[in-house]
Structure 1
Amino acid sequence: MKLISQLSKETGIPIGTIRFYEKSGLISGQTKKEVTTNNYVYYDEETVEKLRFIQMSKAVGFTLAEIKEVIDAWYKKQLTKKAKIDVLNKKLLQIEEKMKELRAVKKQIAICKHNIEHEMEP
């Protein structure tokens, strides 16, 4: 069990962001019932896994709403193997589409750059 500062240090995620994820329902911690003198919240290894999943998912373009949907189903064992693969395949298609769009924008920028480099000075 880890305190939020330890969780932050281990994952590299700022404490404020971890608290935001908790308020958003992406993760949760627990207090120790036997300790009544403080309001410390403790996090388990599953929380570390979820935070790493959130980081990875954000890096490839998942929204927090999409991440919450997957985390809720994944960790509550509500998604079948096929459903998990379907979610990931859908995201892979979205990423591929985004890459096509970015390649088209890159091509247009290269054309503009070429035109500027080769235009005649007045």
Structure 2
Amino acid sequence: MKLINQLSKETGIPIGTIRFYEKSGLFSGEKKQEVTTNNYVYYGDDVVEKLRFIQMAKAVGFTLAEIKEVVDAWYQKKISRNAKIEVLDRKLIQIDAKISELKAVKKQIAICKFNIENGVGPNNN
């Protein structure tokens, strides 16, 4: 069992962020019932794994809402291999759509730049 400062050191995630994730319901710690003199919350090794999963998922573009949908099932083995693949396939589709949107925006900016450089269109100053 680890305290929040130990989690932070081990994962490199700031304490405030860990608390935010906990308040968001991504994981929870527990108080030791035999200790009544403090309000320390302790976290198991599963929380370290979940924090690393959250970091990885965020790094590849998953939102916290998306992560919250799958994190418990993923780590409690309640989500099948096929369901994990479906989650990742949906994200790949979203990424492809975003790439298409960005390519369209890039094309419009390039046209605008070309027009400005060549004095084409209104306000060709």
Where does 1:7-86 land on structure 2 (aligned, <5 Å)? 7-86=7-86
Aligned counterparts of 2:11 and 2:104: Cα–Cα separation in 1: 36
TM-score normalised per structure 1: 0.85
Shift, 1:10, TM fit: 2.5
The unaligned stretches of length 5 or more in structure 1 are none
Residue correspondences, number: 122
Which of the pair has more CA radius of gyration?
2
Aligned counterparts of 1:108 and 1:114: Cα–Cα separation in 2: 10
Match of 1:96 in 2: 96
TM-score normalised per structure 2: 0.84
Identity %: 74
Shift, 1:118, TM fit: 2.7
The unaligned stretches of length 5 or more in structure 2 are none
Shift, 1:107, TM fit: 1.8
Residue 75 of structure 2 aligns with an amino acid whose one-letter code is Y
3-state DSSP of counterpart to 2:95? helix
Over aligned residues, Cα RMSD in angstroms? 1.9
Q: Deviations over 1:26-67 (max 9, x none)?
A: 011122233222111122222122112212222333222211
* 8 A Cα contact 1:73 1:79, kept in partner: yes
Higher alpha-carbon deviation: 29-38 or 64-73: 29-38
Shift, 1:110, TM fit: 1.9
